[in-house]
A = this chain, B = another copy of it.
């Protein structure tokens, strides 16, 4: 019996009071006024937003649980300063902790980080520790906290090393995930996300990061951006850059989810990327919420596409469960503790 683990879900349906506080927080920062108190949210309010959305869809689609993090497009680390980012990260992560406490069998918590364009990673290191102490199993790392102009150092730069040391010490992976775009030329979910995924992978090819951190693990979401489609280009570029074969150079450490919203894309992913590197994910409720008129099913019901793959049951088991348990050892430990 396979546990169907969706590795990529965000709390895109948080109670309105949560988002209202964010507006007050931004206004207070602008006015130089004290930060308002975070509102009291009842368990029932939280339950309602989850039952009506993520949990309903999870059940309808036949999945069991979601690796769950704050809404990615609302992380917006380019807003305010580091103290604004830290307040926002804490209230979001605390809210995710409540979701996981209310439904421990359904939501495995992953944190956002208090990144800020001018900040180093010290605040993120502290917040990661705080969240792991609350039972979190991973984090979302934003490679471009500036919000759409790609001014941060590459992921292979030593700027990030103190944070990687902490990830390795805590044995948690990071999903590489940008946030909302403040660039009018970059639509968040249609351009910025996919571009950032692709850029991240190429940075990893150019560097030798995993020589320094052999156990560091990244999930590149949205099916790895453009990477599987251009797999020949990336193999060829690694060769031109005198790097080892991608299998040894990056693919012991990099994983792609299945947030690719049509069957031919998932077929390609499963065809060119090793089975051990693919984690089931849907990004539900997320970027694309409609029904595909060519199939009659939700675009983001990616379980259907994986179910339809012409691969062995064992290979499907790895995509749905086995790989997630390997990439997120703290999830595996929690599941084992529950007898799963």
- Within the complex, the shortest CB–CB distance from A107 to chain B, in Å, comes to 25
How many chain A residues sit at the interface, stated as a range, is: 35 or more
Chain B residue at minimum C-beta to C-beta distance from A206? B187
Q: Which chain B residues border A265 with CB–CB below 8 Å?
A: 229-232, 268
From 126 to 174 in chain A, residues with beta carbon under 8 angstroms from any chain B beta carbon are 148-154
A39 within 8 Å of B (CB atoms): no
Q: Of B185, B202, B234, B290, which contacts A150 at CB under 8 A?
A: B185
A7 within 8 Å of B (CB atoms): no
- Within the complex, the shortest CB–CB distance from A75 to chain B, in Å, comes to 19
Residue of A154, A222, A240, A262 with most partner-chain B CB within 10 A: A262
Q: Which chain B residues border A267 with CB–CB below 8 Å?
A: 268
Q: Which chain B residues border A196 with CB–CB below 8 Å?
A: 195
A226 within 8 Å of B (CB atoms): yes
A326 within 8 Å of B (CB atoms): no
Name 8 A/B residue pairs within 8 A (Cβ), A-sorted: A185-B199, A194-B198, A225-B226, A232-B288, A233-B287, A235-B299, A236-B261, A236-B288
Query: How many Å lie between the Cα of A264 and that of B235 in the bound state?
Result: 14
A272 within 8 Å of B (CB atoms): yes
Contact flag A230-B236 (CB < 8 Å), given A149-B149, A190-B202:
no
Contacting pair A190 B233 (CB below 8 A):
yes
Query: How many Å lie between the Cα of A49 and that of B232 in the bound state?
Result: 27
A292 within 8 Å of B (CB atoms): yes
Q: Which chain B residues border A264 with CB–CB below 8 Å?
A: 231, 268, 271-272
- Within the complex, the shortest CB–CB distance from A281 to chain B, in Å, comes to 13
- Within the complex, the shortest CB–CB distance from A323 to chain B, in Å, comes to 20
A122 within 8 Å of B (CB atoms): no
Chain B residue at minimum C-beta to C-beta distance from A196? B195
Contacting pair B194 A230 (CB below 8 A):
yes
Contacting pair A203 B229 (CB below 8 A):
no
Q: Which chain B residues border A230 with CB–CB below 8 Å?
A: 194, 222-223, 260-261, 265
Query: How many Å lie between the Cα of A226 and that of B307 in the bound state?
Result: 23
